Amino acid sequence: MTRIFALLLLSIIAGIFLTHKSPTPPLFTLPPKEIPTQKAQYFYNSLPTLPHAPSVHSATLTRLSDDRLLAMWFAGSGEGKPDVEIYGSIYEPSSNTWSEPKSYLNRTRLKNDSKQFIKMLGNPTLYRSNLGEIHLFVVGVSFGGWATSKIYHYISKDDGASFEYKQRLDLGMLLNLSHLVRAQAITLQDGGFYLPIYHELADKYPLIVRFDKEGNVIEDIKTTSLSGQLQPSLLSLSSTECLAVFRNYYDKPMSMQYCFNGGLDWGEPFPSNIINEGNSIALFGIGKEIFLVHNTREKNPEESRGTLVLSQLIDNQWKKLTILDVAKGKRERGKSVEVSYPTAISNGEWIDIVYTYNRSHIAHIRFNTQWLKDIQ
């Protein structure tokens, strides 16, 4: 009897191994190919501000179906204040102008939509899927500070004209606390996407959340156990490989990490040749070329966020191409001096970058591929 039972158990185990299939890895879509331009063009803009919301920060950006741009950011009397709302503005390329900002989301609406008390709002993140829907992720806090935040999800099916509440992202085991979003998602060939987020309570580490084409969460992946890695920025390198770079909680070299097998496997993070002093960064790609927007102290030694730089990755080393902007002013009574929190997108012809300027306004830099070639 014991022998029969053992044989039966072995056959069951063998059946499990024979029928088990490894998960099918998702495939990435690639960055846009270069669209050649003949004449170099470069534009610099300041987005309009509102008198009742003078403190602005953390801009995000996406492209609409007609090649206009939609930017969003949070603004109010100050970061973390209850009057902070998510504002947005639309860029018209033909006239090189931004529309008057309007409020897209406030804490009262998020409270009603999510059925949770909302104390304050933070980082918005926009992403346009390859199905044409625009996803808006936003950080909300019910109690405490940013370390107790959660991520909330809205979707627009009318090209950004309106957004409908989708869900609160339920992640992790610890009361779903301390998940924040900053950088944009990257697209998968099945219509889904990967959203980079990060955990900030106690240990600080990056996560990648996988969504299906309907915007439902499939899984979340912790890419590394290396502590102090925040605000991951992702870029696909091939259909199965990607690159992540991180904001460092410590004043150390910026970490980089490669993924394989469609993001199911991750290599060990390694230090880059750029020092990151707790500053947000942004990756973008054109064809096989990889670019990074980041901060240095180069033109403003007293401010770690005082200089905004564009660099290119060559043989795993970042080569500085140009200084994009330098913050003017002096830090007095807590006044911010920074050109920080960049978001960068490209359609292969134009590169658009939005970022915080001294918390007083959102700045916008736009240039074409010929201008980029001229500085390489």
DSSP structure string for 266-327: E---EEEEEEESS---EEEEETTEEEEEEEESTT-TT-TTSEEEEEEEETTEEEEEEEEEE-
Tens-digit pLDDT profile for the chain (376 aa)? 455 544 444 444 444 333 333 468 899 999 999 999 999 999 999 999 999 999 999 999 999 999 999 999 999 999 999 999 999 999 999 999 999 999 999 999 999 999 999 999 999 999 999 999 999 999 999 988 887 899 999 999 999 999 999 999 998 765 677 899 999 999 999 999 999 999 988 789 999 999 999 999 999 999 999 999 999 999 999 999 999 999 999 999 999 999 999 999 999 999 999 999 999 999 999 999 999 999 999 999 999 999 999 999 999 999 999 999 999 998 887 789 999 999 999 999 999 999 999 999 999 999 999 999 999 9
- Closest by CA position to 206, among listed 153, 242, 168, 240: 242
Give the pLDDT score at 270: 97
CA angle 180, 184, 189 (to 5 degrees): 125
CA angle 188, 193, 199 (to 5 degrees): 140
DSSP 317-371: EEEEEEEEEE--S---TT----EEEEEEEE-SSEEEEEEEETTTEEEEEEEEHHH
Q: For the structural domain made of 27-374, what CATH number should be given?
A: 2.120.10.10
Q: Which helix (H) or strand (E) holds 206?
A: strand 205-211
Non-local CB neighbours of 219 within 8 Å, separated by 6+ positions: 209, 210
- Closest by CA position to 191, among listed 371, 26, 307, 3: 26
DSSP 223-248: ----SSEEEEEEEE-SSS-EEEEEEE
Give the pLDDT score at 176: 72
DSSP SS3 for 8: helix
CA angle 168, 169, 175 (to 5 degrees): 95
Give the pLDDT score at 24: 84
| CA gap 180, 17 in Å, rounded | 38
Give the pLDDT score at 146: 80
Q: What are phi and psi of 341, to 5 degrees?
A: 55, 60
Non-local CB neighbours of 136 within 8 Å, separated by 6+ positions: 72, 86, 104, 105, 124, 125, 126, 153, 154, 155, 156, 163
Q: What are phi and psi of 266, to 5 degrees?
A: -130, 135
Is the pTM higher than 0.85? The answer reads yes
Decide if 277 contacts 222 (C-beta within 8 A). Answer: no
